[in-house]
């Protein structure tokens, strides 16, 4: 595939060799000829904003600008968070809404998605927990403002 837009079905975007991405959805897996960052940027644009605009929004809503979670699409509450600095090629992007649970797995972390899929990531549990908590705070502020 040459293009991809994030949907509610998207679980994770993982970098692969040759500047491509592995897209994991609830029922499918795709290889896309774009980096995870390009997919995130394209999806933000598809839903009417820029990636930098989404980052600015996150900073305004919860005060986070480093490894910031972003609202890809507001009405469906599609929020993704990076596993490391988005500037790094190895950065994966994970859907908050689709996480069932996550736990420590030796030196890494294991995410169980509500579809039954599990993903092991080369990220410490503490770092993953921090990213999930930031994304959850963003989701909470978004919901509060939508319902006000």
- Please report, in tens digits, the pLDDT of each residue of the chain (148 residues total): 788 999 999 999 999 988 899 999 999 999 999 999 999 999 999 999 999 999 999 999 999 989 999 999 999 999 999 999 999 999 999 999 999 999 999 889 999 999 999 999 999 999 999 999 999 999 999 999 888 7
Helices and strands: H and E segment counts in the chain: 3, 9
Q: Report how far residue 34's alpha carbon sits from residue 2's, in angstroms, rounded to the nearest whole number.
A: 7
Token output for 92: 């994966």
DSSP 8-44: TTEEEEEEEGGGEEEEEESS-EEEESS-HHHHHHHHH
| Beta strands, E only, the chain | 10-16, 20-25, 29-32, 70-73, 78-82, 93-95, 99-105, 108-113, 118-121
Residues 3, 40: contact at Cβ < 8 Å? no
Q: What is the pLDDT of residue 2?
A: 81
Closest to 98 (Cα-Cα) out of 85, 83, 116:
116
pLDDT value of position 101: 97
* Residue 67, both tokens: 């490894």
Q: Kindly state the tokens that stand for 123.
A: 């990220």
Domain coordinates in residue numbering, the chain: 10-146
């Amino acid at each position: 595939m040459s293009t991809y837009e994030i949907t509610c079905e998207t679980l994770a975007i993982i970098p692969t060799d040759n500047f491509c991405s592995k897209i994991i959805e609830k029922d499918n897996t795709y290889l896309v000829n774009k980096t995870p960052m390009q997919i995130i940027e394209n999806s933000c644009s598809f839903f009417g904003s820029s990636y930098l605009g989404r980052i600015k929004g996150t900073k305004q809503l919860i005060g986070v600008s480093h490894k910031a979670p972003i609202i890809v699409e507001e009405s469906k509450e599609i929020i993704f968070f990076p596993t490391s600095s988005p500037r790094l090629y190895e950065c994966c992007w994970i859907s908050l809404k689709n996480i069932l649970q996550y736990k420590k797995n030796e030196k890494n972390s294991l995410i169980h998605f509500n579809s039954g899929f599990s993903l092991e990531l080369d990220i410490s549990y503490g770092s993953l927990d921090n990213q999930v908590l930031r994304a959850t705070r963003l989701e909470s502020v978004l919901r509060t403002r939508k319902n006000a």
